[in-house]
Structures are given as C-alpha cells and as structure tokens.
C-alpha cells in the first residue's frame, strides 16, 4: 500500500512538472501554425495581385474566407483601398506596418487594436513590412 502511494506521489510530481512545459509547446505550435497560414495567405494575395493588378477585396476572394486561426478566430484582412483612414496597424512610432493591406491573427485573447504596442495587440500574429515580417507583434 505504501509503495502504491509513493508511485502515485511520484507520478503526480512528474505530471506537475510536465504540464506547464506541454502548455508552452502547444502555444508555440499554435503560433507557428498562424505564421504558416499568414505566409500562405500572403502568397495567395501576391498571386492575385499578379493576375488582377489589384488587391483582393476580401480573403474569401482568394479562398481563405472561412479559415480560422489556431485560436478559432477569423484571420483579419484590411485592404487600404476601401478602408476607413486611421485603421491601419501601426508600430510604436505610429508608422503603418504595411502599405497596401494589413493581415493578422487576433491571437489567444481574440482582441486587437491598431497600435501593436497596446496590451490587446501583444499576442497578435501579424504581417509587417509588406510581407518582410510575419510573427508575434511583440517581436516586431
């Protein structure tokens, strides 16, 4: 009986050590999946521009309309041609991240704001520098 109790205690200790590490790995995998999706969407947008000489009006136009990020949120796309001025994503200096369109994932919290420096935008996975950067907003 004592041996069984010791085995259960050891298993509990190992599980308590492994759980946070597993959670961290799951978060990294979700971020990597969102980065891969944004890269694929960007490639499809570049292909659309090459064929039609204009940006797609929505993600549905290029076949990404119903796709969701790893946190089950829709991917965000803003074509500046038809957008309300001032809705472009900006860095810490107020400079827009992109020139023609914005594209990003809302991240785990499902919230965002135009400035990537706000708390709501810190976990966003975004496209910046017109495709030169795809990653976590805090690393931009």
**CATH numbers and ranges of domains, the chain:** 2-139 (3.30.700.10)
| % of the chain residues with pLDDT over 70 | 96
CA distance readout (Å), 122 to 4, 21, 28, 114, 129? 46, 21, 15, 11, 17
* Whether the predicted pLDDT of 132 surpasses 70: yes
Arithmetic mean of pLDDT, 21-41? 90
Q: Look at residues 125, 103, 138 and name the one whose alpha carbon lies nearest to residue 33.
A: 125
pLDDT, averaged across the chain: 90
The reported pLDDT for the residue numbered 84 is: 63
CA distance 39 to 29: 15
Distance CA 42, CA 66 (A): 16
Q: Which two tokens stand for residue 73?
A: 């949120």
Cα angle for residues 110, 111, 114 (degrees, 5° grid):
140
- Tens digit of pLDDT for each residue in 59-98? 999 999 889 999 999 999 999 886 666 678 899 898 999 9
Q: Which residue has the higher pLDDT, 115 or 84?
A: 115
Burial (CB count <10 Å: 0-12, 13-18, 19+), residue 5: exposed
Count of other CB atoms within 10 angstroms of residue 110 = 13
Whether 27 has a pLDDT exceeding 90, the answer reads no
Enter the pTM of the model: 0.82
Q: Please report which confidence band the pLDDT of residue 51 belongs to, taking 50, 70 and 90 as the band edges.
A: very high
pLDDT of residue 85: 60
Structure tokens at 35: 């980065």
When pLDDT is cut at 50, 70 and 90, the band that residue 135 belongs to is very high
DSSP state of 112: -
Residue 25 scores a pLDDT above 90:
no
């Amino acid at each position: 009986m004592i041996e069984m109790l010791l085995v259960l205690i050891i298993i509990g200790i190992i599980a308590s050590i492994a759980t946070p590490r597993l959670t961290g790995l799951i978060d990294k995998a979700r971020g990597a999946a969102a980065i891969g999706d944004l890269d694929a969407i960007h490639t499809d947008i570049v292909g659309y521009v090459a064929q039609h000489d204009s940006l797609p009006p929505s993600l549905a136009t290029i076949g990404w309309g119903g796709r969701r990020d790893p946190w089950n949120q829709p991917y965000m796309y803003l074509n500046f041609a038809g957008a309300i001025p001032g809705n472009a994503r900006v860095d810490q200096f107020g400079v827009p991240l992109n020139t023609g369109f914005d594209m990003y994932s809302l991240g785990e919290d499902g919230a965002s704001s135009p400035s990537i420096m706000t708390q709501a935008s810190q976990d966003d996975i975004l496209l910046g520098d017109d495709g030169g950067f795809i990653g976590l907003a805090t690393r931009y």
